[in-house]
Amino acid sequence: MLVHIKDILKDSAKGGYAVGAFNVHNLESVLGVARAAMRAKSPAIIQVSEGAIKYMGLKPVTHIVSTVAKNIAHQVPIALHLDHGKSFNSVFECINAGFTSVHIDASDLPLDENIILTRSVVEVAHPKGVWVQGEVGAMIGGHGRMGGKLKGIPMAKPDEVVKFVRETKVDTVAAAIGTAHGVYANEDVNIGLLKEIKTRTKKPFVLHGGSGVDLKKIKAAIGEGVNIINIGTDIKVAFCTTLIKQCAENASETDPRKLMSPTIKAVEDVVYNLMGVFGSAGKAHFEEIET
Ligand code: G3H
Ligand code: ZN
């Protein structure tokens, strides 16, 4: 079922687990996440980037996610979220389309400009009941990038995060604490920094760059209060490696469904395993909805 993100998070904060926010890029990845959520009996956040919206169209992706949530993931809570919205306009369009949560990512601007833009989003989102995620300390790397070591992963400054949260009134906060977008050998989670940010902001914390991070470190971060973990690259890789293999092994196939079906299962399996790691498996409320 489609729910407001706040209904997913209130239970995770009490239950000591994190909810995965999974980036989707097409119908197959939406189905993969929905089936994993049903199999794991887990809540899930389905998130789309501006790139995914450009590819699928805002209305189509909104309808695909809500229809799949209602009809495939009908026994588990699913929330729809905009990931890394870079401008007021793109965030505003998602608010009007019915998203219950939007991320305004102005983290590459100077702090004061980040605060002004983020606060302007909060001012239009909150009267409509929409939650806003803000970000301090830009993440490096790139979605889908694989391998090697990054030269110096930047860390957010706690004083800046505290000022940002206080002055913007965001509902959830993301900050650079050692992870990166993509998969790299030297990703880490700075637990001390996370603890300080959590204690001083008392806000739900979103860990970006979840792919490629040592699962023990992920679990330690959840123990210190990470509430949402973003996963993008793992899904892209599962989808693409499976599709490439299918095409190579069935070069004369003319039915797209035969080539694509295994990609749904590949995404489902990756997401299902992560739901176990995040502790969200088994935490869904089973309330049937009217369809
Ligand atoms: O916003 C999305 C993420 O932070 C995904 O990062 O590609 O490293 O999983 P990832
Ligand atoms: Zn991210």
Is 70 exceeded by the pLDDT of residue 225?
yes
Average pLDDT, the chain: 95
Is 50 exceeded by the pLDDT of residue 290?
no
Segment holding 30, helix H or strand E: helix 27-40
Ligand 2 centroid, distance to 64 Cα (angstroms): 22
Catalytic residue among 7, 11, 83, 159: 83
pLDDT class of 180 with cuts at 50, 70, 90: very high
pLDDT class of 13 with cuts at 50, 70, 90: confident
Nearest CA-CA partner of 123 in 147, 149, 104, 138 = 104
Query: Which tens digit of pLDDT belongs to each residue from 53-74?
Result: 999 999 999 999 999 999 999 9
Ligand 1 centroid, distance to 208 Cα (angstroms): 5
pLDDT of residue 287: 52
Residue 234 designated active-site: no
Query: Is the minimum distance from the CB of 77 to ligand 1 under 6 angstroms?
Result: no
Query: Is the minimum distance from the CB of 83 to ligand 1 under 6 angstroms?
Result: yes
Choice from 19, 22, 23, 172 to test ligand 1 binding pocket (greatest atom count within 8 A of CB): 23
pLDDT of residue 216: 97
pLDDT of residue 144: 81
pLDDT of residue 110: 97
255: burial class by Cβ within 10 Å (0-12, 13-18, 19+)?
exposed
Ligand nearest to the CA of 48: 1
What pTM does this model have? Answer: 0.96
pLDDT of residue 204: 97
pLDDT of residue 202: 96
Is 50 exceeded by the pLDDT of residue 213?
yes
pLDDT of residue 288: 43
Nearest CA-CA partner of 131 in 101, 104, 99, 105 = 101
Query: Is the minimum distance from the CB of 90 to ligand 1 under 6 angstroms?
Result: no
Query: Is the minimum distance from the CB of 25 to ligand 1 under 6 angstroms?
Result: no
Between CA 151 and CA 40 the distance in angstroms is 37
Query: Is the minimum distance from the CB of 23 to ligand 1 under 6 angstroms?
Result: yes
Ligand 1 centroid, distance to 200 Cα (angstroms): 25
Q: Strands, E, within the chain: which ranges?
A: 19-23, 44-49, 78-85, 101-104, 131-136, 141-146, 172-175, 181-183, 205-207, 226-231
Query: Which tens digit of pLDDT belongs to each residue from 131-173?
Result: 999 999 988 888 888 878 888 889 999 999 999 999 999 999 9
Q: What is the share, in percent, of the chain residues with pLDDT greater than 70?
A: 98
Ligand 1 centroid, distance to 83 Cα (angstroms): 9
